[in-house]
Structure 1
Amino acid sequence: MKTELDTILEALSTCASVLQAALEDEGAPSFRRDDLSHHPWDGGLPGPRGWYARKAIVGLCQRITTLVQDPFERSQIDSAGFALTASLHTVTQCVPPTVAEIVLASGKNGTSLKELAERTELNETKLHYFMEKEGGFMAPTRSTRALLPESYVGDIAGLMNAGIAAASMLKETAKLPSDSRHQWLKENPEELAPFSRAMDTMEKMLDPGLVVDLPIEDFGPNITLVDIGGGVGGLTMQFLKRYPGWKAVLQDQKVVIPQAEAFWRKEAPEIVDAGRVTFLGHSFFEPFPLPPAPEDCPYVFMLKDVIHDWPDDLTTRILKVSREEQHELALKYIRTSCRLRCQDPSS
């Protein structure tokens, strides 16, 4: 009689075969834990077969863990999950050179924990996010590269770390009035830059296929994309690089605009110089002025990962404002995150 584990293992074997075939078809190397070079699929966009096979393998492995692990052991690990986020934040924020830089420079032979601790000023008993070649010697893996300063993992870990600190006070603060995180960022501009970098990085990780797969036939070759609450505008930049007939209006809080302008000047100066992007510092809760859309370049309003952050009354206000700003020649694209509750934890 076939068991649930048998079914999962069969699916895992099938997905592994599909993944391997996709790698071969695209001329990409197989995954190896000790390969320190950048893999073309990391941060890139493989074909649909490779994309879905990779996601399925990760999900199936998690199902195996859920199925076979002692539930009490699993709950212990889940309860201590915050420790990994805090650890990532620590190793990415230590004095330069960072832990990842030192370990990567050591190559496959690795470096001693003692030397690593001395150079980073971290306790050696807390430095085990790498591969232990032998007692007391750590070597880099594929994962180590994600901890380098330019990877922005530190920004994401710091973002989550702040949530841990807030969660620890939830019982005491749940009934107190509070402003939104966005208001707090506005009042603490030193936190805005890492927050925006983290958002841009997460956007690239979560939606790498959106620019390729979004059906835009109805838009036409020339549009003006109004990115409402777009942050520094990483996604909009991808669209404008792909579609030379597109222009954009990037809207966010006034405090965000200088950072957005610097980001575009660095990453896409040719678009800025061509006048294809303008920046609008304004609250999306209030009507914002837009000139009439040219007939040959209509507005397309985009709200991406915006309305999920707000309660229903404020979400309604955002949608009403964006509706009021639409002109006769306008379309709207809305994509947002939804929090789903599954009755069956394994589903």
Structure 2
Amino acid sequence: MDSIATLRALSDIIANAVTTVERTYKDAELSPPSLDEPFDHHAPAEALRRDPVVVAAIQNLVAAAGQITAVMRDPALYVLDRAHGFQVSSCIQAVSQLNVAEFLREAGPEGMSVKEIAARSNVDSKLLGEASLIRAVSLADATEARILRLLATHHIFREVSTDVFANNRISSTLDKGKSVDELLAKPDERLLETTGLSALVEFLSEEVFKASGFMAESFLDSSPLTPHMRAFKTDGNMFQWFENPDNKHRLMRFGIAMKGSAAEEPVGTIFKDKISGFPWQNLTAGGVIVDVGGGLGATSLSIVKEYPTFKVVNQDRAPVIKQSKAHWQEFFPEYIEAGMVEFQPHNFLEAQPVKNAAAFLLRHITHDWSDANLVIILNHLRAAALPSTKLVIIESIVAPACAGRSAHPQVNNIRILGVPRKSAPPPLLANFGVAAAPLYYYDLTMNNVLGGQERTLEGFYDVLLQSGWKLMEVYHCPETDWSHLVADPIF
């Protein structure tokens, strides 16, 4: 396809998507959310964005707009723009820690000047003109407001007039929902009882951002040190590093971030029909589900609330298991009273103690680990498996940017069930390009902080085979990017 034909095709995709959005909102007698207005998760216009028809249209819009930019922009400028992306990350970190979204929420649509924010927060206004979280390091003109202006240029915040800024739909998502007075009076508690988004943003733009700066060094030598180990000069992995008393605030922030992201996961959607997720009802009644590295055990809890004939063994590190028991006591105490759930401290890099499992469940565990370490984990499960034991892995599956069948012949024969995952219409990249970028970001995030990875279907097939399991089926779940990969032990 020549360049003009490509542009026309991309333009048509955008036009068709806009028509779909316009028609859907018009039928509902609504207008799409405005970029200039604060985000309201409960607004009918926002709820309509989650309609599958609108979701698909938005995916096409984002993918096509991103591809047009790549096609038409000067390639050197495009590369330099991508290389400068870290500046945006640094600025988001700064405004979140300085509670700028909360100041601007209280200021209202008229906005607030940088000097006013600085005066009230006892922070030198130059801090909003320098990308530093500690102090301003120069006597640059305080009215430049470089941080907020860069973000506003990327449609995060709105510059109402020179040096005066207000929230918009995107920046308001950083709002922690507390008054400025409360945030300033109790800075150590600013992230507690929040949605977790600000905590996640700060984790990504600090720990992950700093670790990513050492990614090339990790590729260029044979040292086992992860980028995170290099960045923070530690011999332990990220979780071990978090447990250092000096990192107490970072551990708390990470926990809030993960709790917030888990709350967004529509766990119940896997039970909407019998082919959208692994058919737990097909396991023998009374069978044991081992939630390996299960954390609080929220996923296994949701399963047995739907199918209350199974026993559960929730396994994790001892401090987490204590929290897990409290979680079950709060949300499903009758299962504890009936002796249907066991809380078992366990290191899954060691031999698996449960020998009668109907299913081993690993939810968002495999992406934390390299292939070599994952083979160790799965080998232990295989050694403890019965011929009838099922291995159920809940993860995202990375799609290639190209179209076509897999070059891996065995993968083409795996049963794919649940919600179909379609390739993007040409000339879009088959994986929807920038519209699907978050999964590819998280792939490198896992590499940089833990030495782990998100995997392609071929990657899952190979690592399972190396550890004595054969991938049999994949269930794509509705309303999420997650899939259930089901494997049988090889005897």
Fold shared, TM-score > 0.5 on shorter chain: yes
Shift of 1:42: 6.1
**Larger Rg: 1 or 2?**
2
Partner of 1:185: 242
Q: Establish whether residue 127 from structure 1 lines up as the match of residue 148 from structure 2.
A: yes
Percent identity of the aligned residues? 24
Match of 2:203 among 159, 163, 186: 159
Shift of 1:101: 1.4
Partner of 1:270: 331
Match of 2:292 among 205, 221, 228: 228
* Higher mean C-alpha deviation, range 204-213 or range 306-315: 204-213
Partner of 2:373: 314
Match of 1:56 among 57, 60, 63: 60
TM-score (norm 2): 0.57
* Higher mean C-alpha deviation, range 242-251 or range 79-88: 242-251
Partner of 1:300: 359
Q: Establish whether residue 146 from structure 1 lines up as the match of residue 173 from structure 2.
A: yes
How many angstroms apart in 1 are the aligned matches of 2:163 and 2:306?
49
Partner of 1:296: none
Q: How does 1:25-174 map to 2 (within 5 A)?
A: 30-36=32-38, 37-38=40-41, 39=43, 46-94=50-98, 98-120=99-121, 121=123, 123-124=127-128, 125=145, 126-128=147-149, 129-149=156-176, 150-160=194-204, 161-170=206-215, 174=221
Please give the secondary structure, in 2, of the residue aligned with 1:279.
strand
Please give the secondary structure, in 2, of the residue aligned with 1:151.
coil
Please say if residues 186 and 255 of structure 1, whose CA atoms lie closer than 8 Å, have aligned partners that are also in contact: no
Partner of 2:186: none
Please give the secondary structure, in 2, of the residue aligned with 1:127.
helix
User: Residue 211 of structure 2 aligns to which amino acid in structure 1?
Assistant: A
For residues 18 and 201 of structure 1, do their structure 2 counterparts lie closer, same or farther at Cα, with a shift above 3 Å needed?
farther
How many angstroms apart in 1 are the aligned matches of 2:348 and 2:47?
31
How many angstroms apart in 1 are the aligned matches of 2:265 and 2:65?
20
Shift of 1:79: 1.0
For residues 198 and 230 of structure 1, do their structure 2 counterparts lie closer, same or farther at Cα, with a shift above 3 Å needed?
farther
Shift of 1:312: 2.5
Please give the secondary structure, in 2, of the residue aligned with 1:301.
strand
* Higher mean C-alpha deviation, range 327-336 or range 204-213: 204-213
Please say if residues 291 and 360 of structure 2, whose CA atoms lie closer than 8 Å, have aligned partners that are also in contact: yes
Please say if residues 271 and 277 of structure 1, whose CA atoms lie closer than 8 Å, have aligned partners that are also in contact: no
Q: Establish whether residue 194 from structure 1 lines up as the match of residue 253 from structure 2.
A: yes
User: Residue 336 of structure 1 aligns to which amino acid in structure 2?
Assistant: E
How many angstroms apart in 2 are the aligned matches of 1:252 and 1:270?
19
Please say if residues 23 and 50 of structure 1, whose CA atoms lie closer than 8 Å, have aligned partners that are also in contact: no
Please say if residues 43 and 204 of structure 1, whose CA atoms lie closer than 8 Å, have aligned partners that are also in contact: no
Match of 2:346 among 282, 304, 317: 282
Partner of 2:135: none
* Higher mean C-alpha deviation, range 131-140 or range 45-54: 45-54
For residues 152 and 45 of structure 1, do their structure 2 counterparts lie closer, same or farther at Cα, with a shift above 3 Å needed?
same
- Measured against aligned partners, the alpha-carbon deviations of 1:154-174 in whole angstroms (never above 9, x if no partner) come to 322333221222233456665
Shift of 1:131: 0.8
Q: Which runs of 5+ in 2 are unaligned?
A: 129-144, 150-155, 177-193, 226-235, 404-426, 430-491
Match of 1:323 among 367, 382, 387: 382
How many angstroms apart in 2 are the aligned matches of 1:20 and 1:226?
47
Shift of 1:271: 1.8
Shift of 1:330: 3.8
For residues 216 and 102 of structure 1, do their structure 2 counterparts lie closer, same or farther at Cα, with a shift above 3 Å needed?
same
Shift of 1:224: 5.4
For residues 29 and 239 of structure 1, do their structure 2 counterparts lie closer, same or farther at Cα, with a shift above 3 Å needed?
farther
How many angstroms apart in 1 are the aligned matches of 2:280 and 2:330?
29
For residues 319 and 301 of structure 1, do their structure 2 counterparts lie closer, same or farther at Cα, with a shift above 3 Å needed?
same
Shift of 1:319: 1.3
Please say if residues 16 and 53 of structure 1, whose CA atoms lie closer than 8 Å, have aligned partners that are also in contact: yes
Please give the secondary structure, in 2, of the residue aligned with 1:33.
coil
